[in-house]
Structure 1
Amino acid sequence: MNIRMVYPRRFIQDENGSATVLALFFCLIILIIGGMAVDFQKRQADSQYLQNAADSAAHAALLTRQSKSESVAISEALKVVRGMLPRKNMQEAITSADFTFGTWDYDTRTFTPAPGAVDAVRVYAGMTKDRGNSTPNLLLYMIGFDSFNVAEDSIQVLKRKPCSFQGLLAEGVLTIDSGNFFGPSFCLHSNTYVSLRTNNYFTADNYADKILGSKVSMPHIEKLDIPDSAYSSNTNLEGAKAEGWYNLSSLDELPNIITNLELGVGLFVPSTVLLKAPTPLTLSEFRPSDIAPGLAHRHNCAGGKIIFKSGTYEDFTLVTDCQVEFSSNVILKNVVIATRNTSAQAFYSSSGLQLGVNDDCAIGGGATLLSLGGFYANANFSAYGGVVWARGDIYFHARAKKIEGLSMKTQGSLTATSEAEMRVCETSPILGKYAEYGPRLMQ
């Protein structure tokens, strides 16, 4: 029996079995590299899940908050994200405590919590050890890294949609005749297509002075209906073209808006009108002295007609089911008139209807017409802080009259005839209430 004696010096120099130790080191290195590849990729995937869920939750919460309480907004948002977080440990990544409503400062780009706010919301989404739901590792746990903390947040802010503030917007065809001037930021939009004649002027973009030019938009710009000479005869038309689609579902709310007006309550009641039960009117023809200012009124005539005779009418609301006719040279100031009449000419003006006061866009003094039917202004229509919303078609003829601060929207077609000057009013507050707002991702 041979016994091999291994002396200390020889043991140190002996290389038998070294490959096994080296293989273990290589296995460890491969495990770490593989773990980094697999688990870091998994962490990134979880991070994206959380970011998508936080964005969706913030969007849903802010939209719901416009008409509901904070608690209802949070509840609705949580329903939206439940299906977006597939694994069990993700389900607690967003809880009701992770929603914070507040305000957003565009200059400093900072969010400030403010209980009761409706303008902005921040949503936090977290998978962390503190919550007991950190994202587990598949391979790195074998070398002591059990899990990663993953957290994301989203801030969404309610921002006014371009073109929903002032301009001409139609679900159907928007037809513009000749000889019109469109100032900076004035919008012409159709969700079908725009038909445009000649000799119109569109203000160009001026990026140096941060001035946005007037726009002509529709979902498919190739559907723009123009004569052969349109680009030479319509100044800056090429630069004014834009593609887009606008959700005009706010017009679906007209029945609810009209009901609130009838009760003398809601955002659309002028500040000069008392919030009280409406006063019934019975006359079929009105003069300014026949309608008491500062009150909400109603008039039922079972499909008949009421007529506003020439003059200036101020400071009231009126809800009716009648056709409303304006005699020549009627001026409406701080007035809201809404009709449930559904005829094509639910509002009719023979000549000279003026919405608002010609005061160089001073705050206040505007007027609003809301119709479940159409609107027809035959000649010399003008607006200085005015709103015309209709479910039926809209037609107006301005002929050298000014349009300063007009929000005109229809679920039908809109036809604007020639020789009008149309501009945006930056300081007309009544229009802000009628603008469409939507969540915008800020962070």
Structure 2
Amino acid sequence: MTSFMARALRRLVHGSDGSVTLMGLYTFVAGTMIGAFALDYTYLEATKTQLQVAADQAAHAALYNRRSMSEEDAKKVAIELIQPLLPSGRYGRILTTDSIEFGTFDRESAVFTAEAGSGKAVRVKASMTEVKDNAAPSYLFKMLGKDHFDVAASSVFMTYMPGCLKEGIMADGVVDLQSNNSFSNGFCIHSNSHVSINQNNYFEPGTVVSMPNITDLDMPRSGFEKNTGLQEALRDQRMNLNILNRLEGIQESLASGKGARIPGYITSATTVPLQASSVQQSMLTPGRIYRIDCKGQSLDIDGATAPIQNVVILTTCPVKFANGSKLFDAVILTTSTDVKSVTAPQGLQIGKNDNCAAGGGAQIITLGGVSVASKLSMFGGQILAKKDVDFAANADGLQGASIVTRGKIDGTSNSRMGFCLSGMEQNFETDYYRMAQ
């Protein structure tokens, strides 16, 4: 019996059936480890993706709300926003106020720098860690003694201003330009519909002419031959003209005398009521905001006798400028919705001709349209309109011009438009947001 048992054991050890059993055991253990790794890896990648989405949404929300809120309030809004996505009852404190920092972002070095009080950029760090007692649990890796994992994601958003919205002519409708116009390096012409060009126009290298589809460009058959630089200037792009959504808010801010929209040359927050159908600088005190009631008529502004300057004028009436009127350090805003709520016979100058020096600019804002007969000139000047803008021959915007409208822009001939870069600081703008990291 003993010899029979020994022979059986030897057959088990040395036989092929035994080796297959041991190999199966090794395979099972290896397969289990690979499965554990794959399951936990997949879970961790999914968790990290969720954290990245949360960080991106929180960063955008924090920076967007920072323009109208304190840092702490903007942080709270961002944290509240991601609760439905990653509820704290299940995921713990994904974000805290300490994990949201405002500051600046240097695009060249790709470095974020925390800076208290800034609204230029934000960095958000979303995390599930052992220190915060919300680390991501492991599953099959528990068999190897690994109970949890630290997972984190970071997002940086920054504000920016598209160059074309700072200086250029922008319209949701058609931009229609005729002949013998000149546009210098950096200046932008954009339509969210299409651009129509006649001939003998000059586009200096660096000029941008854009629309959603450049094949919609309307021009004569010889258009590229008769419009030097046009082909090189063309770009496919659509732009959200967000500043036009803010016109009512700008009006409310100016009327209240409070907020960041108030120009620096205004020294009194008290709005001065005035009844008049015509006004000139001698009737106005520099540094004040005027709300003018035109008694149901149009408001005639004489800026030719002396430039209208260092004032804000608010009215519900259509505005008519006298020949040769000038606006320096001034805002004219009308809530009139007439298709020609702002008109000038000729020679309207928006901004001081100061070779792109800081200050001296002026802004015209209307919920209607603008029409200037001829010789419109802009020097650090801005026109914001809900309806059409048209200007006739000999417009001059060589030193800083920005025209933005929901309607169309109709410009005739012999105009010069150029890029100034400086001297546009007082123009009304709204931030755009993009992911930096």
Deviates more, 1:87-96 or 1:101-110: 87-96
The answer to whether 1:436 aligns with 2:437 is no
- Is the contact made by 1:269 and 1:317 (CA closer than 8 Å) also made in structure 2? no
| Residues 308-387 of structure 1 aligned to structure 2 (within 5 Å) | 308-309=301-302, 310-311=304-305, 312-387=307-382
Report the CA distance shift for 1:441/1:402 in structure 2 as closer, same or farther (over 3 A).
closer
**Partner of 2:281 in structure 1?**
288
**Partner of 1:185 in structure 2?**
186
Give, in angstroms, the shift of residue 398 of structure 1: 4.4
Determine which of 227, 230, 234 is the counterpart of 2:227.
Answer: 234
Report the CA distance shift for 1:2/1:139 in structure 2 as closer, same or farther (over 3 A).
same
**Partner of 2:36 in structure 1?**
35
Letter in 2 for 1:27: F
The answer to whether 1:269 aligns with 2:262 is yes
Give, in angstroms, the shift of residue 131 of structure 1: 2.4
- Is the contact made by 2:316 and 2:336 (CA closer than 8 Å) also made in structure 1? yes
CA deviations over 1:152-205 (Å, ceiling 9, x no partner)? 11111111123111111112111111111112221111122222211112222x
**Partner of 1:125 in structure 2?**
126
Report the CA distance shift for 1:91/1:394 in structure 2 as closer, same or farther (over 3 A).
farther
CA deviations over 1:291-315 (Å, ceiling 9, x no partner)? 2222211211243112223232221
| Residues 75-224 of structure 1 aligned to structure 2 (within 5 Å) | 75-85=76-86, 89-90=90-91, 92-204=93-205, 213-224=206-217
Unaligned runs of 5+ in 1: 205-212
Give, in angstroms, the shift of residue 236 of structure 1: 1.8
Give, in angstroms, the shift of residue 233 of structure 1: 1.1
Query: What is the alpha-carbon distance in structure 1 between the residues aligned to residue 3 and residue 268 of structure 2?
Result: 111
Letter in 2 for 1:224: L
Q: TM-score, normalised by structure 2?
A: 0.91
**Partner of 2:55 in structure 1?**
54
Cα RMSD for the two superposed structures = 2.5
| SS at 2:260 equivalent | coil
Q: Identity across aligned pairs (percent)?
A: 34
Give, in angstroms, the shift of residue 20 of structure 1: 3.3
Give, in angstroms, the shift of residue 58 of structure 1: 0.5
Letter in 2 for 1:396: F
Letter in 2 for 1:66: R
The answer to whether 1:408 aligns with 2:400 is no
Letter in 2 for 1:186: F
Give, in angstroms, the shift of residue 13 of structure 1: 7.8
The answer to whether 1:297 aligns with 2:290 is yes
- Is the contact made by 2:376 and 2:395 (CA closer than 8 Å) also made in structure 1? no
Query: What is the alpha-carbon distance in structure 1 between the residues aligned to residue 141 and residue 280 of structure 2?
Result: 84
- Is the contact made by 2:277 and 2:293 (CA closer than 8 Å) also made in structure 1? no
Matched positions, count:
433
**Partner of 1:208 in structure 2?**
none
Query: What is the alpha-carbon distance in structure 2 between the residues aligned to residue 86 and residue 229 of structure 1?
Result: 62
**Partner of 1:71 in structure 2?**
72
Give, in angstroms, the shift of residue 417 of structure 1: 1.7
Letter in 1 for 2:208: K
- Is the contact made by 1:265 and 1:275 (CA closer than 8 Å) also made in structure 2? no
- Is the contact made by 1:303 and 1:323 (CA closer than 8 Å) also made in structure 2? no
Letter in 2 for 1:52: V
Deviates more, 1:287-296 or 1:344-353: 287-296
Unaligned runs of 5+ in 2: none
- Is the contact made by 1:165 and 1:434 (CA closer than 8 Å) also made in structure 2? no
Give, in angstroms, the shift of residue 96 of structure 1: 3.7
Deviates more, 1:390-399 or 1:21-30: 21-30
Report the CA distance shift for 1:141/1:220 in structure 2 as closer, same or farther (over 3 A).
same
CA deviations over 1:95-121 (Å, ceiling 9, x no partner)? 343211222233443222223221111
Give, in angstroms, the shift of residue 287 of structure 1: 3.2
Query: What is the alpha-carbon distance in structure 2 between the residues aligned to residue 376 and residue 200 of structure 1?
Result: 22
Letter in 2 for 1:266: G
| SS at 1:409 equivalent | strand
- Is the contact made by 1:279 and 1:298 (CA closer than 8 Å) also made in structure 2? yes
Q: TM-score, normalised by structure 1?
A: 0.90
Report the CA distance shift for 1:436/1:242 in structure 2 as closer, same or farther (over 3 A).
farther
**Partner of 1:209 in structure 2?**
none
Query: What is the alpha-carbon distance in structure 2 between the residues aligned to residue 128 and residue 365 of structure 1?
Result: 54
| SS at 1:74 equivalent | helix
| SS at 2:425 equivalent | helix
Determine which of 241, 247, 264 is the counterpart of 2:240.
Answer: 247
| SS at 2:163 equivalent | coil
Deviates more, 1:88-97 or 1:372-381: 88-97
Letter in 2 for 1:263: S
Query: What is the alpha-carbon distance in structure 2 between the residues aligned to residue 28 and residue 401 of structure 1?
Result: 81
**Partner of 2:26 in structure 1?**
25
Give, in angstroms, the shift of residue 430 of structure 1: 2.8
Where has structure 1 moved over 6 Å in runs of 4 or more?
A: 10-13
Letter in 2 for 1:327: A
